[in-house]
Amino acid sequence: MHMPDGVLDPVTLSVASAVSVGAIAWSARELRRGDVRWGLAAGGAGLVLVAHLADVPLYGPYSAHVIGGTLLAAALGPWMAMLTMAVALALEALAWGDGGVAALGVNFVVMGAAGVLAGWGVYRAVLTMVARRRGPGADDATSWWRVPAAAAGAWVSVMASALTLAVLSIVGGVTGIVLREVVAPHAAWGLLEAAASALIVAAGVAVTRALRARRVGSIVEESLASRA
């Protein structure tokens, strides 16, 4: 899904760059209000770099690969996820030539902004609806509902990125059947990202539940031992 240089016109590249700078600045501002998990962010950036290596050619300059925006947002929150994606995309463009340097703003808008925010919105919307039905006191961190929420968010994230890429391509002067050749394949590709996201989140929920159960068991044992 990386856009190379020399495809879009300078005006589109400039506008996308301005939007990306604004989004990154806003994300950095929002992070001041919460806990910043730098270690987890570094690990997430590494996973994104690895995932983006598996490019499947589509049409013209376009390719498909796992994005990982919803997983980042679920683990780090949307603002840290956007910054992490920005770092990963910059490294890919500067170190590996995957995506153009001039088109870096476009690639961030497509994957780092549209993809992350759309995936996060769906993910949180599903969990919010479930929480309302389950009532107060539900533990979101150990809820299996996070699995379908992540799957739905991942698919929507891919589609949001593909549609954003198609719109920017059309506005930027790309001729050809962009919607059919780019958006349609990503509808199927998004199923792969949804499945991968669901598996990873399911593993995370299982580990969290096991650790909490073990912790509770230890507390109970200590309580019984103290009364003996």
Mean pLDDT of 30-43: 66
Residue 62 covered by a domain: yes
pTM given for the model = 0.82
- Which two three-digit tokens encode residue 181? 């050749």
pLDDT at residue 186, rounded to an integer = 78
Mean pLDDT of 58-65: 62
Residue 39 covered by a domain: yes
Residue 1 covered by a domain: no
Task: Of 30-39, 81-90, 152-161, 209-218, give the lowest mean pLDDT range.
Answer: 30-39
Domain hosting 198: range is: 10-227
Number of domains in the chain: 1
Cβ proximity of 116 and 160 under 8 Å: no
Q: pLDDT (tens digit, 9 = 90+) per residue, 83-99?
A: 888 988 888 888 877 77
Mean pLDDT of 177-204: 81
Residue 5 covered by a domain: no
pLDDT at residue 62, rounded to an integer = 61
DSSP states of the chain: -PPPTTSS-HHHHHHHHHHHHHHHHHHHHHHTTS---HHHHHHHHHHHHHHTT--EE-STT-EE----HHHHHHHH-HHHHHHHHHHHHHHIIIII--S-STTHHHHIIIIIIIIHHHHHHHHHHHHHHHHHHH-TT--GGG-TTHHHHHHHHHHHHHHHHHHHHHHHHHHTT--S-HIIIIIHHHHHHHHHHHHHHHHHHHHHHHHHHHHHHHHHHHHHHHHHHHH-
Task: Of 41-55, 118-132, 139-153, give the lowest mean pLDDT range.
Answer: 41-55
pLDDT cut 70: percent of the chain above it: 72
Residue 2 covered by a domain: no
Residue 181 covered by a domain: yes
Residue 38 covered by a domain: yes
Residue 3 covered by a domain: no
Query: What is the CATH classification number for the domain harbouring 135?
Result: 1.10.1760.20
